[in-house]
Amino acid sequence: MTATQDRPAAEIGKDRRRKEDQRLITGRTRWTDNITLPGMLHLAMVRSPFAHATITSVDTEAAKASKNVVTVLSGKDFGEELGVCINAWPITPDQKTPGHSPMPADRVAFAGEIVAVVVARSAAAARDAAELVDVEYDELPAVVGIKKALEDEVLAHPDLGTNKSALWVFDSQDAGTGGEVEAAIEEARNGGIVIEREYRQQRLIPAFMEPRSVVVDPTGEQLTMWSATQIPHILRFALAATTGVPESKIRVIAPDVGGGFGGKLQATPEEWIAWAVARRLMKPVKYTETRSESLMAAHHGRDQVQTLTLAADKDGKVTALRVHLDADLGAYVAIVGGGVPVLGAFMFNAIYKFPAYRFECQTVLTNTTFTDAYRGAGRPEATYAIERLMDELAAEVGVDPLEIRERNWITHEEFPFTTVAGLEYDTGNYEAATAKAKESFGYDELRREQAERRERGDRVQLGIGVSTFTEMCGLAPSRVLGSLDYGAGGWENASVRMTPLGKVEVVTGASAHGQGHETAFSQIVADRLGVPFEDVEVLHGDTQVAPKGLDTYGSRSLVVGGEALVKAVDKVIDKAKVLAAHLLEANADDLEYSGGRFTVRGTDQGMGIQELSTATFAGHDYPDGMELSLDADATYDPVNFNYPHGTHLCAMEVDTETGAVKMRKYTCCDDIGTIINPLIVAGQVHGGLVQGIAQALWEEAVHDESGTLVSGSFVDYLLPTAADTISFDVVHTDEPSICTTNSLGTKGVGEAGTIASTPAVVNAVVDAVRHLGVNDIQMPCTPERVWRAIHAHDGDAPTPQAAMPHFEEGALNQDEGAGQ
């Protein structure tokens, strides 16, 4: 028990291989769908094919008569025990919020909404019988698309009288953080530069790899829900608040969860229905969605129209930014809902010193799948807008895009810096990140190649895209959330338990679903407490094990949850010191703690923390007044957000004849403060990059005019594959800007790649063809859109006959017998 003291070098900063991998690579996993309980019944959902319709009747007779079916229930079979799906962030006091039943009895508001549930002895029997449920609908006109919704001619919810849910405004003049926007824009119209653009943030689908699944077991004293969720603690709270079951009778477990990206930050109709059915039948039930159901009914992300006005003097120094967003909430205001675009409000000014800023966000309801958080949540949209605009400004002024940024960014000597949006950025060094990224990217050489290709008039043109981003992450100071009318706090809880034989159990309220908390948190505790990495066990994701917490999203687990851990460890050491002083017969003031061991200054006497843990278990000898335990817990509420930043550079090749684009190189230099585990950080960056790149190039959730999701399978919703992507060049600054508002100096990294990469890619594509008269291409930049942008100024000349020999009668290259 004394082996604990010869520890290896510091754990923080080490590229530890992950503890969680052994199970995952051998298939020894606990996905929710893997869970089978005795007597368990299976659910299948009957979903509306119409985007907007009155339910006139639900005939369940044939389904009920079907073999192995236990029962079929529709909305009218439930009362208040079904609960409601909540909106935790009403962004204004007068927000219009339609009631959101998990299973409405009277009217559906989007295609995919659940109207009945079949309960059967097997999943297959349930699904078969779901086909037999005969629902009669009276179809109502559906409103699809932001612009249609704003017209208020067709209403998503007729009883609300409007599709406009809330208007949220921030104005720097009113807030006292900056000047008047209108005056600055007027001034720029006379002798300065005004850039006005409308950008579209297309709707995306989080598309986590593990479809959502929920198991509810009502047979114990506590009702237990296993769910593929990011938010077990918030779920317990919401179940208690809306279904009348006391919190103390609810246990929620997030077992192995296969990705989330914000998509599993929701209190879902499916969970609430499973809860109600299990309680009704008093039998365990399971529901696992199909991928099509997931794409159709799990929440979507993004979906904004951004109307932007940037004013600058003739040298490109920005004088004002005005932002108007119209954001599509879909059919309901989901758990965070309109709060997602509002999170972007503080980020449009990004890394720049803008003197005046106004932001308005109009949220609208439509008859489509509801939207909510998707990786970055509000911040990718903001970063896209400003980073695209800065490139446009550079083009207008006629300087390099990095030069225009430098003229406007906060210099490293100016930190801490209070922005025009009212946030205080503690640290950052945009110059250093940019210099490092440029060097690693080979910026000047690629610019030279670009010039040569333009000169030669190459068919394949090269474009270089820049994105110098920052973000606010580590959600969040509870008081700030309170001032924004968010329904919860942003603190996190941790506890440290010392076991009798000297192992360490760490309990965290963060709920990992791929982030590697078990490894990174073990590294933090190993260093702080001075115990071997292997001796630390991180427990999470079960409200019975980790009763307090606010879960994982918004790049918060390390910067908030990790800090709670540090505070709990410090309490353990303080408690142990009292015992150590007693057992070593020394004055506590003479004790030093290092490497997991208390030593008496000036002597060779000492005792390890793990020995002290065993001594506490025995309890044979301890000082009067000491509580016989070393365990401690701590709650940490951050005092500020933290502000990672980075410079991302992307080189894209664009085939000007076909519109096809190809990524040539991508370099990013992220400054995220102290790095706990570089391997995990790189993984977060890579994955984030591809999600952001996918928005730029491939992904889009498309509804047709009647509100049917056209991209409702992986055949139609284009997730990138290994063959579509490249290996990335990920670097960091030599001297990171250590976060000053937490003791580890860490900043969030989970969303950075996604936030930064989208504008870098689109800027590169536009840069490749700007000399052909292009200044914007709508996302995703498909070959068709790129080709059309290049040829937008060609006029309406018909395609020459010579260009379509395949269609000519008797053309040589036609298949013989074609068309017969």
303 is a site residue for another protein (CB under 8 A): no
- The CB-of-699 to another protein minimum distance in angstroms stands at 11
**Site residues for another protein, window 718-737 (CB under 8 A)?**
719-723, 725, 727-728
The residue range among 379-387, 591-599, 714-722, 765-773 that interacts with another protein, by the rule CB under 8 A, is 714-722
| Number of amino acids touching another protein (CB under 8 A) | 55
User: Among 2, 10, 17, 138, which residue sits at the site for another protein (rule: CB under 8 A)?
Assistant: 17
For residues 486 and 88, the answer to whether their CB atoms sit within 8 Å is yes
- The CB-of-28 to another protein minimum distance in angstroms stands at 7
The residue range among 216-224, 243-251, 602-610, 689-697 that interacts with another protein, by the rule CB under 8 A, is 689-697
209 is a site residue for another protein (CB under 8 A): yes
User: Among 269, 330, 337, 516, which residue sits at the site for another protein (rule: CB under 8 A)?
Assistant: 516
Cβ closer to another protein: 199 or 553?
553
β-sheet with 460-470: strand ranges across: 460-470, 645-655, 661-671, 729-731
CA 506 to CA 521: how far, in whole Å? 8
689 is a site residue for another protein (CB under 8 A): yes
User: Among 68, 292, 614, 740, which residue sits at the site for another protein (rule: CB under 8 A)?
Assistant: 292
**How far is the CA of 374 from the CAs of 16, 205, 206, 362, 395, in angstroms?**
29, 8, 6, 19, 31
Cβ closer to another protein: 26 or 820?
26
Question: Which residues have CB under 8 Å from 784's CB, separation 6+?
Answer: 659
337 is a site residue for another protein (CB under 8 A): no
- The CB-of-261 to another protein minimum distance in angstroms stands at 7
User: Among 2, 248, 290, 411, which residue sits at the site for another protein (rule: CB under 8 A)?
Assistant: 290
Cβ closer to another protein: 27 or 619?
27
Question: Which residues have CB under 8 Å from 169's CB, separation 6+?
Answer: 358, 359, 360, 361
- The CB-of-638 to another protein minimum distance in angstroms stands at 25
For 673, the 3-state DSSP assignment is strand
282 is a site residue for another protein (CB under 8 A): no
- The CB-of-750 to another protein minimum distance in angstroms stands at 11
Cβ closer to another protein: 423 or 675?
675
**Site residues for another protein, window 555-614 (CB under 8 A)?**
none
For residues 466 and 387, the answer to whether their CB atoms sit within 8 Å is yes
Question: Exposed, middle or buried by CB within 10 Å (0-12, 13-18, 19+), for 504?
Answer: buried
690 is a site residue for another protein (CB under 8 A): yes
Cβ closer to another protein: 690 or 768?
690
Question: Which residues have CB under 8 Å from 313's CB, separation 6+?
Answer: 188, 192, 193, 319
- The CB-of-291 to another protein minimum distance in angstroms stands at 4
User: Among 4, 5, 11, 18, which residue sits at the site for another protein (rule: CB under 8 A)?
Assistant: 18
- Annotate each residue in 21-40 with x if it binds another protein (CB under 8 A) or - if it does not, as one string: xxxxxxxxx-x-xx------
Question: Which residues have CB under 8 Å from 296's CB, separation 6+?
Answer: 47, 111, 112, 369, 709, 712
- The CB-of-717 to another protein minimum distance in angstroms stands at 9
| 244 Rama class: left (phi>0) / alpha (psi -120 to 50) / beta | left
Q: Hey, what are 519's tokens?
A: 């490894």
**Site residues for another protein, window 237-256 (CB under 8 A)?**
256
For 580, the 3-state DSSP assignment is helix
- The CB-of-495 to another protein minimum distance in angstroms stands at 25
For 794, the 3-state DSSP assignment is coil
Q: How many other C-beta atoms lie within 10 A of the C-beta of residue 562?
A: 27
| HSE toward the beta carbon, residue 716, CA cutoff 13 A | 12
- The CB-of-116 to another protein minimum distance in angstroms stands at 21
User: Among 212, 513, 556, 597, which residue sits at the site for another protein (rule: CB under 8 A)?
Assistant: 513
- For 159-206, strand residue ranges (E) read 164-171, 193-204
User: Among 124, 169, 639, 710, which residue sits at the site for another protein (rule: CB under 8 A)?
Assistant: 124
Cβ closer to another protein: 257 or 675?
257
For residues 330 and 405, the answer to whether their CB atoms sit within 8 Å is no
Q: Hey, what are 792's tokens?
A: 């937008």
DSSP-assigned states of every residue in 723-738: GG----EEE--SS---
- The CB-of-211 to another protein minimum distance in angstroms stands at 7
**Site residues for another protein, window 645-684 (CB under 8 A)?**
679-680, 682-683
753 is a site residue for another protein (CB under 8 A): yes
User: Among 261, 272, 469, 553, which residue sits at the site for another protein (rule: CB under 8 A)?
Assistant: 261
| HSE toward the beta carbon, residue 151, CA cutoff 13 A | 8
DSSP-assigned states of every residue in 364-433: EE-SS--B---TTTTHHHHHHHHHHHHHHHHHHHTS-HHHHHHHHBPPGGG-SEE-TTS-EE----HHHH
Measured in whole angstroms, the distance separating CA 563 from the mean position of its chain's CA atoms is: 21
Q: How many other C-beta atoms lie within 10 A of the C-beta of residue 798?
A: 6
- The CB-of-170 to another protein minimum distance in angstroms stands at 33
710 is a site residue for another protein (CB under 8 A): no
CA 25 to CA 7: how far, in whole Å? 28
CA 346 to CA 175: how far, in whole Å? 12
The alpha carbon dihedral of 271, 277, 279, 285 has a sign of negative
- The CB-of-777 to another protein minimum distance in angstroms stands at 23
The residue range among 219-227, 490-498, 508-516, 793-801 that interacts with another protein, by the rule CB under 8 A, is 508-516
Cβ closer to another protein: 469 or 491?
469
User: Among 121, 453, 686, 791, which residue sits at the site for another protein (rule: CB under 8 A)?
Assistant: 686
The residue range among 111-119, 275-283, 288-296, 644-652 that interacts with another protein, by the rule CB under 8 A, is 288-296
715 is a site residue for another protein (CB under 8 A): yes
- The CB-of-13 to another protein minimum distance in angstroms stands at 16
- The CB-of-284 to another protein minimum distance in angstroms stands at 16
- The CB-of-48 to another protein minimum distance in angstroms stands at 19
Cβ closer to another protein: 45 or 166?
45
3-state SS string over 765-793? Answer: HHHHHHHHCCCCCCCCCCHHHHHHHHCCC
Contacts with another protein, residue ranges (CB under 8 A): 17-18, 20-29, 31, 33-34, 124, 207-211, 256-259, 261, 290-292, 513-516, 679-680, 682-683, 686-691, 713-715, 719-723, 725, 727-728, 753
